Amino acid sequence: MPPPDNNGLFERILAHKLSFFVVFFIVFLVSYGVLYAVDFIPEAPEEKEEPVPAVTTDPEPAPLVVTDPYPKRMIIEALEKDIVIQNPESRTVADLDKALLTGAVRHPDSATFAEDGTMFLFGHSSYLPHVFNKNFQAFNDVQKLVWGDIIKVQSSNVEYRYRVNKVYKTKAEDASVTLGGTKKKLTLVTCNSFGSKDERFVVEADLVETVALAENGSP
């Protein structure tokens, strides 16, 4: 009996494997082509940039050339007030009281718009039912201001906007205003008479914006 032909057996097995791989490859290519044609092939996901959270800061006042350093007018929209501001040169109580009859007063030792530090304005506050001179009520209700309220103080050509950050009541002997410093601030103080011993309301605010005024006085 002749020995089995192992070489022929291996050749037949190899031929079957090659045929299988050829058929598999053809079927794979045809299937891929069909899937691609119908847009069924998955695509790599697009990488999306994560949004960067915005960091908010207080706006810096725009630099303006100060040609008029003195306040002329104050507008407090939250209280519906429009107040004239006087700038006396005298520091005597009599002269300061006289200036209070015609509006709020900037203390002559406090900062102007051209200087760093605190601008100190004081004005009358009276709750009498009948007042002939309305300047006696110039600072009525300033104690109702809250954090974030805006106080607008104008020179002849620029509007300076201050944001309220503190409102409190104090005794006259305890009331003190820091006039120096490197930041521009505003302090309002109520009074019946400059130098009197009555309790006072104090409003402190920081400069947050400056706006040039048109010739008609509007921003």
pLDDT value for 48:
61
Element (H, E) at 19: helix 6-37
Q: What integer pLDDT is reported at residue 205 of this predicted model?
A: 97
In a domain, 18, yes or no: yes
Q: Which three-class secondary structure state does DSSP give residue 77?
A: helix
Entry pTM: 0.67
Residues 104 and 175 in one domain: yes
What stretches of 60-139 adopt beta strand conformation (E)? 73-76, 81-86, 104-106, 117-124
Tokens 């290519």 -> residue: 29
Whether residue 124 is found in the same domain as residue 165? yes
The residue count of the chain comes to: 219
Residue 144: which domain range? 73-212
Residue 173's pLDDT is: 63
Residue 161: per-residue pLDDT: 98
pLDDT of residue 171: 75
Res 122: pLDDT:
94
Domains identified in the chain, total number: 2
Structure tokens of 174?
Answer: 């305890």
112 occurs within a structural domain = yes
Residues 114 and 205 in one domain: yes
Neighbours of 206 (CB within 10 A): 16
If asked whether residues 29 and 81 sit together in one domain, one would say no
Residues of the chain with pLDDT under 70: 1-25, 27-64, 172-178, 192-197, 216-217
Contact 78, 149 (CB under 8 A): yes
**Backbone phi and psi for residue 101, each to the nearest 5 degrees, phi listed first:** -70, -15
Residues 30 and 123 in one domain: no
